[in-house]
């Protein structure tokens, strides 16, 4: 029974870490500098394809 508790706590830790990384990524993606960078990168990729 103790092993199951350890696995559950490990899974919960991974979920919390993943949620934190997702939140940090969302905040970074919403910054004006970041959106401008991604817009320019998308334009560059689009022009390179055509």
Show the domain range for 11: 2-49
pLDDT of residue 13: 96
Q: Could you give the 3-state DSSP secondary structure of residue 1?
A: coil
d(CA 48, CA 50): 6
Token pair, residue 39, equals 């817009």
| DSSP state letters, 6-34 | HHHHHHHHHHHHHHHHHHHHHHHHHSHHH
pLDDT the model gives residue 1 = 52
Helix/strand/coil for 10: helix
- Cα separation, 34 vs 14, whole angstroms: 27
pLDDT tens sequence across 1-50: 566 788 899 999 999 999 999 999 888 877 777 778 888 999 999 999 87
The predicted pLDDT at position 4 comes to 74
In the chain, the number of structural domains is 1
């Amino acid at each position: 029974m103790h092993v199951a508790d350890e696995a559950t706590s490990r899974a919960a830790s991974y979920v919390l870490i993943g949620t934190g990384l997702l939140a940090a990524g969302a905040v970074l993606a919403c910054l004006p500098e970041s959106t401008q960078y991604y817009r320019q990168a998308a334009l560059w990729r689009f022009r390179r394809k055509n």
